[in-house]
Amino acid sequence: MRTLRSGGRERHHLLHVPTDISARPNLVIALHALGSNPRLMEAMTSLSSRADECDFIVSYPEGIRSAVSGVTSWNARFCCRDAQAEGVDDVLFISDLIDALRDEHDIGRVLITGFSNGGMLAHVAGIELSDKIDMIAPVAATVGREILELVPKRPMDTLIIHGQDDRLVPYASRGDDRFLPAMEAESYWARVNGCSAVEEESTSDAIVRRYGGGSCRVTSVVVKNAGHVWPGGRTRMGGEHDPKTVDATSLILDHFFSND
């Protein structure tokens, strides 16, 4: 684990750099879920092995850890736990991390992805750091009502992946009062990116919506029969169903590199 000072705190991240990395490599930042950690995020997503295959750097930052419960969390403004309660500036941490890695590796394009609470921070980072980020890919995540008034400085390439049967962060119905159904996060990005059209395709595995028009690049993949999971991940939360019909990591990387 590496250490980076940000916002007056010692912050940590796990960094994977392929042995034969090319000049000006792309960067993927992968944000873990509430109560998780960088090692589990690495294991779940298989991003490090994919980095070796596809020639990019991947960083797994760590949320702050509660001194009482030991639970890690991210402050996505509307959620969650100690990070939100203490007003931790996790967007600044992500920004400082990008700057540090750019200085060290002459980074090219940047993708922020995240699962659950980490995906919520990915949404916020996509808004507030749109001048540093090229794409976001939140998985099993959403936004809060206060986020709807924010506008990124430039259109953000957005890929949203969500389980149709997610009960913790529901796609179509309201769950916890703190946050909105995930379909409203999808609508938010379509609005602020100036999307004027949408094409929908339904297969046995997923409902895919591709928004277009102008500079719009927003895609939503709702995985059928999937709960609160990273679809296709090597690990999952207890009791949550993953039909293993969709590989979120492959979807994200294919989308990211298709615009390289």
pLDDT tens, residue by residue, 161-215: 999 999 999 999 765 567 899 999 999 999 999 999 999 999 999 999 999 988 8
pLDDT at 257: 94
What does the pLDDT average to over 104-117?
97
Determine the Cα–Cα distance for residues 222 and 183; give it in Å rounded to an integer.
10
pLDDT at 235: 77
The token pair that represents 259 in the structure block: 């615009």
CATH number corresponding to 2-258: 3.40.50.1820
Q: Average pLDDT, whole number, for the chain? A: 94
What does the pLDDT average to over 24-46?
97
Determine the Cα–Cα distance for residues 43 and 64; give it in Å rounded to an integer.
20
Does the pLDDT at position 25 exceed 60?
yes
In Å, how far from its chain's centre is CA 69? 25
What does the pLDDT average to over 26-30?
98
Give the pTM.
0.96
Edge-to-edge strand ranges of the sheet holding 26-31 = 2-6, 9-16, 56-61, 26-31, 110-115, 135-139, 157-163, 218-223, 206-212, 197-202
What does the pLDDT average to over 135-142?
98
What does the pLDDT average to over 129-146?
96
pLDDT at 260: 66
Determine the Cα–Cα distance for residues 171 and 197; give it in Å rounded to an integer.
21
Give residue 29's pLDDT band: very low, low, confident or very high (50, 70, 90): very high
pLDDT at 239: 77
pLDDT at 103: 94
